[in-house]
Structure 1
Amino acid sequence: MSLQAGGPMVERWHPPAQPHGVGLGRLPAEPVLEGESGADPMNSVLGKVRPILEAFTADDSALPLAELVRRSGVAKATVHRLAQELVTWGLLEREGCDYRLGLRLFELGQRVHRQRILREAVQPYMEDLLLITRETIHFAIHDSLDVVYLDKIFPHRGLNAESRVAGRLPLYCTGTGKAILAHSPPSLFVDVVRHGLKPVTRHTVVSPGRLRAQLDRIREEGIALETEEIRLGYASLAVPVFAGRTSLVGALSITAPTYRMDAAGHATALRTAALGIGRSLT
């Protein structure tokens, strides 16, 4: 299904053409001494590169060296040296005296096979839901204690700024997260509670007992409704997506302002789309 100009907006990754012969190069070799298998991973080159790259947030266009040092916790001389190598590899780009994440990271992200297959499967159903509901549609997958938004499409009205493609939000207070958590092993619930249920808004459920009751109801009804737990004035209706009968692959949701959320009216379309995605994955 194609979207016409002036129609709904689509926030999605689109892989650029792969430049011929571009490689990551080699990391500098560091000696490994006998008995060091249990050494602190932060002492390795990769252990220092990771916090440098993760210092950037989705809202950062570029960061000065001093801010990279502060956020990463890595020594200034090391950050300066590694940043120059990351620029050479295309993982960072230089903008004056500042650094920003490089296009090479974007290119590598497109090669993750599982996510690419899932996006291709969900896109037609998300577009159908958008046309039916005229509300924001998300597809999210589970990673650690968060949901990661694999795809998002939305109409011009009521843009939802809390979520973004490749962005993360907690499992316990999002519609997609609750749908996933309700159909995951009990050990995941234990891990989420152990990590702490922190309020995002005044409506966020931070009681383990209340959250457990919510998840029990979601399992029974097959659908999750989150209201103002992640953003005031907004609600999300979500369902789990299974490949086959039992293989949980993610969750599909409709997000709308609370005054416009039609949970009863949208539930059937949402469930139908989830079943269609599941069939396309088997």
Structure 2
Amino acid sequence: MRSALSDEPVSVLDRILAILDTARESHGSTTITQLALATGIPKSTVSRLVGDLVRQRYLVRTEEGVAIGLRLFELGARASTPRRLSAAALPVLAELFNATGEHLNVAVQEGRDMLSVISVRGRLRPVPSRAGVRVPSATTALGKAVLAFTVDEGVLGSVITGLDAERRHTLEKEFASVRAESVAIDRCETFPGVVGVASPVLSPERLPLAAISVAGPVADMDPKRMAPLVRHAALALTHRLALQVA
């Protein structure tokens, strides 16, 4: 919404969008002064809003001023991921199912949860999750695989809030292991008697786009045997998504 007497943006959202659009159109770095002149927003207001946007990673400070930050690229990737996953994941899931015969999931992060986008039924009855169902990030292998590579402090904070010190320490150790091995494990934490093994699907900037998992009964699931299969599937899906963009 803009003022009837000028082109100056009048709402906070209007001003933020005007600043982001101007920064994007600069195709590099721009300064507070240039943003104020281009948007018609008072320089003091631009400076305050830019500070907020930098803290939220929508903008990043450079030697020349500010530029578009990683969070906008991350959000753009997430917005297109479900549609792209549908086209890219099916051959990967078919190969993984042939190798395991277990329940498979591809999920994306939605706030504190993981949202299942694609689900393939295996031996498990009842099915622990299906497409369109949310599962908690803090306990599931899918969630741990994504959270280990998440740079959004707001998301991490919302997941960790409420956890006691011991659980938080354990989760941080798991994240370090996931970053090293690209494999996360859920040992009956989310669903009784169900073990899950997951691996992240990453963007070229190593931002988490999704995760792929295999889940089965605790009596038969060997995470060490499943880990390389799931990791290979996640890498295959990563490459297929990258080819769609190229």
TM-score (norm 1): 0.54
SS class of match (2:210): strand
1:167 aligns with 133
User: What's 1:179 paired with?
Assistant: 145
- 1:125 is aligned, of 70, 79, 92, to 92
CA RMSD of aligned residues (A): 2.3
Deviation at 1:206, TM superposition (A): 7.5
User: What corresponds to 1:147 in structure 2?
Assistant: 114
CA distance in 1, matches of 2:138, 2:166: 9
Which position in structure 1 is the counterpart of 2:17?
none
Correspondence for 1:228 among 181, 188, 192 = 188
Structure 1 pair 253/160, CA: closer, same or farther in 2 (3 Å)? farther
- Secondary structure in 1 aligned to 2:143? helix
Identify unmatched segments of 5+ residues in structure 1. 1-36, 39-111, 199-204
Distance 1:114 1:211, change over 3 A: closer
How far has the Cα of 1:186 moved from its partner? 6.0
Instruction: Measure the CA separation in 2 of the matches of 1:226 and 1:162.
Output: 13
Percent sequence identity over matched residues?
A: 27
Kindly indicate whether the alpha-carbon contact (under 8 Å) linking 1:172 and 1:197 is maintained by their aligned counterparts in 2. Answer: no
TM-superposition CA deviations, 1:172-193 (whole Å, max 9, x none): 0101001001111161322212
| Contact 1:136–1:160 (Cα < 8 Å) also in 2 | no
Distance 1:245 1:262, change over 3 A: farther
For the 8 Å contact 1:147–1:169, the answer to whether it is kept is: yes
**Counterpart residue number, 1:98:** none
Are residue 265 (structure 1) and residue 215 (structure 2) matched? no
Which residue of 255, 258, 268 maps to 2:215? 255
Distance in 2 of aligned mates of 1:184 and 1:248: 6
Q: CA deviation at 1:161?
A: 2.8
Q: Which has the higher helix share?
A: 2
Letter of the structure 2 residue corresponding to residue 177 of structure 1: G
**1:211 has 2:171 as partner:** yes
Tell me how many residue pairs correspond in the alignment.
Answer: 165
Letter in 2 for 1:178: K
- 3-state SS of the aligned residue for 2:147? helix
Change beyond 3 A, Cα 1:240–1:139: same
